[in-house]
Structure 1
């Protein structure tokens, strides 16, 4: 190990234009020593080329992440990565969730539950903190499977949204789903979502897959148990949600899918009505949400349409009642709700210089004809206003959570799971195991 270190040190110095001086008395010994070290380095390179994981250029080996490892060509210097030990604090920067929804004829109730509980799930995710006390970046993906409108060539499967932090996009796509008859291939949709999505390669990030349906888990040409192993090799946890009785889900392989995927198996009654609790804080939160919307400044080619989409998703959430609209408003007060691709305030906070590069045509009417300093001042004013509103909403949310928890404790239990109950419980359990803390 010492010899290897000396060789790497010599290489480093030579790269800096330095020359290692070797005394004549020791030149022969040092020459032999360097030859041995070069042979060791060559052997190490051969071993790396024989490593059983494919794709050497982009491989992420167990215990490593792409942020820590540089694997380069054999003739270049190889940088040795630091292995994450069990005692190393969890520094997860991402929470990634893929939701795979069966949209065959009998799944209308499931889709309704998903539409009405999206923002509740997002709010639960925003409560997570890593060891630095920072909320990880949240990304959600959405897949539609088991629908005759989709191509049989691709297993009646379609990616509705990639892993994205654009929560309005997820809401828009979710509310656009409709059911139709079809073949449900769980193994295939797991394979597609595993391979298509740009999952984090950092083993410390929390990556979860929720697959929901009501047909046998092993239908279709892709073996779910074999695919399960491939998915978990990427550090993705597979959770299965069967729409029907617990026993039937066990009998038709849904529990086996979760067991193989290091996840949880649940059954739900997809046609059950979700219980929404209206709280005294809701009216004020919804009023503040209108003020919050006024702080968004649409920029760029798609700015106006995306601001209109924001308002539409407010309406979609409200179509499931006041409590659900409130959950969305609360989500918009969190750091996870970010729109730097079309909102000047978020764009300025992400990259201040980007605002100066905007053409006159990319500016909204209220900023046209203004100087750069005037534009900057206007954006900063709106930013301060937004933060003040978000603080107020978060304070009200704290009060609201206490009220809702008390009311739910008073209500009789139905004994039947719904989508929100099983997903929220799973998020907390698996997040805690991954080293995250929940407020």
Structure 2
């Protein structure tokens, strides 16, 4: 990158969900004993409905990182790769636990390998982590850069919520001022359009270039955001805790337990992602599994949240209870193909029980790790991750999120 208590639901409409149920007493009694038309029992359908309501009632945060990926931004990019799960875990410490969606935009300038690349806004943070690993510093060396194109792509092509009750933030992070091309990507025009859509535009300057400071201050002011200046390399520091090694080991074991069905290419893609998540560095792995524990608690999952949305055409046999009865034999993973139906189900149940045991241990360790960090770790105020959290904490009050 380049160089940057509960709250009354009446005050926050997103915390309230209206549900109208019209059912006679006799119909209610019948429904308690008869299976639903889709094969579900009424009790199961009611439980799933409660989970949906719980999700809808949670506050939401959408964040886009618009990152300069020219050659001088290597230090910040590497730090961001290491800290994305830490940021997610800290954001999830808000009360109520917010739902988090993250999008990425990489930008450079005309004449470089690319001007801008857009990576979709998603709740699937495994995908965000994978996308971020693709960011490599290259090109540049001749400021300015096309900041306006990066910002415009974020505003125009990421799928933002239309609700004004969703916290929507863009962080532009770079070390060079914006180009002033006479094209459709004027940084001032797109800052205004972001504001019109309820998106706050923050700027993070890496380094101390005076021209960059002037333009980034202008963008933040116009975008109702904040401007901060940080060390050229991002200033992020590794934080090791006594719990990281065991949590990283559990992250690897749980990720490796994935069992997917589907066409071979799509199944291999899902298996490849699981393998990548299993081999993460220990600090990032501990942050990842800790985030999934918080998200699982917020969803009422009774364990960890599902880490990834599987690719289209793939079924997660450990999470999707109906999958084993619905997929074709030729779509099964190799370890199940030579088993009888009863043996397949027994194998899945055994893995589910093992994973549940590991998940309960993760939840326990995650709480201990959070408490240890709160007591022993002080944020480096001028670091990129600290500045992002500072902004989210301060804005969270307006959306009913307390940190």
Quickly name the TM-score band, shorter chain normalised: 0.7 to 0.9
List per-residue Cα deviations over 1:354-408 (Å, max 9, x = no partner): 5533222221123225566654554454344334322322321222223233333
List per-residue Cα deviations over 1:195-244 (Å, max 9, x = no partner): 11121222222222111111224644433233212112222221211112
Q: CA deviation at 1:300?
A: 2.0
Q: Does 1:367 align with 2:336?
A: yes
Kept after mapping to 2: 8 A contact 1:240/1:257: yes
How far apart, CA to CA, are the structure 2 residues paired with 1:433 and 1:423? 16
Q: Does 1:407 align with 2:369?
A: no
Kept after mapping to 2: 8 A contact 1:172/1:313: no
How far apart, CA to CA, are the structure 1 residues paired with 2:269 and 2:394? 38
Alpha-carbon distance change, 379 to 312 in structure 1, aligned in 2, over 3 angstroms: same
How far apart, CA to CA, are the structure 2 residues paired with 1:359 and 1:187? 49
Alpha-carbon distance change, 316 to 338 in structure 1, aligned in 2, over 3 angstroms: closer
Alpha-carbon distance change, 204 to 407 in structure 1, aligned in 2, over 3 angstroms: same
Q: Does 1:430 align with 2:395?
A: yes
Q: CA deviation at 1:171?
A: 1.8
How far apart, CA to CA, are the structure 2 residues paired with 1:292 and 1:368? 22
Match of 1:225 in 2: 188
- Classify the secondary structure of the residue corresponding to 2:203: strand
* Matching residue within 255, 275, 287 for 2:237: 275
Q: CA deviation at 1:248?
A: 5.9
User: Scaled by the length of structure 1, what TM-score is found?
Assistant: 0.67
List per-residue Cα deviations over 1:111-145 (Å, max 9, x = no partner): 11111111101112322344xxxx44322211110
- Classify the secondary structure of the residue corresponding to 1:96: strand
Match of 1:211 in 2: 172
Unaligned runs of 5+ in 2: 1-9, 18-57, 297-305
Within 5 A, what are the aligned runs for 1:32-431? 89=15, 92=58, 94-130=60-96, 135-146=97-108, 156-182=114-140, 184-217=145-178, 219-221=180-182, 222-245=185-208, 249-251=212-214, 253-271=215-233, 274-301=236-263, 302-318=266-282, 323-335=283-295, 337-341=306-310, 347=316, 352-370=321-339, 375-376=344-345, 378-409=347-378, 417-431=382-396
Match of 1:58 in 2: none
- Classify the secondary structure of the residue corresponding to 2:261: coil
List per-residue Cα deviations over 1:170-207 (Å, max 9, x = no partner): 22221122122245222222221111112122222222
How far apart, CA to CA, are the structure 2 residues paired with 1:216 and 1:406? 39
Q: Aligned residue pairs: how many?
A: 338
Alpha-carbon distance change, 94 to 110 in structure 1, aligned in 2, over 3 angstroms: same
Match of 1:57 in 2: none
Alpha-carbon distance change, 264 to 288 in structure 1, aligned in 2, over 3 angstroms: same
How far apart, CA to CA, are the structure 2 residues paired with 1:181 and 1:104? 5
Unaligned runs of 5+ in 1: 1-83
How far apart, CA to CA, are the structure 1 residues paired with 2:240 and 2:375? 12
Alpha-carbon distance change, 216 to 170 in structure 1, aligned in 2, over 3 angstroms: same
- Classify the secondary structure of the residue corresponding to 1:263: coil
Kept after mapping to 2: 8 A contact 1:147/1:180: no
User: Scaled by the length of structure 2, what TM-score is found?
Assistant: 0.72
Kept after mapping to 2: 8 A contact 1:139/1:165: yes
Alpha-carbon distance change, 345 to 218 in structure 1, aligned in 2, over 3 angstroms: closer
How far apart, CA to CA, are the structure 2 residues paired with 1:402 and 1:282? 13
Q: Which of the pair has the greater relative contact order for Cα pairs under 8 Å at 6+ separation?
A: 2
Match of 2:21 in 1: none
Alpha-carbon distance change, 378 to 239 in structure 1, aligned in 2, over 3 angstroms: farther
- Classify the secondary structure of the residue corresponding to 2:281: helix
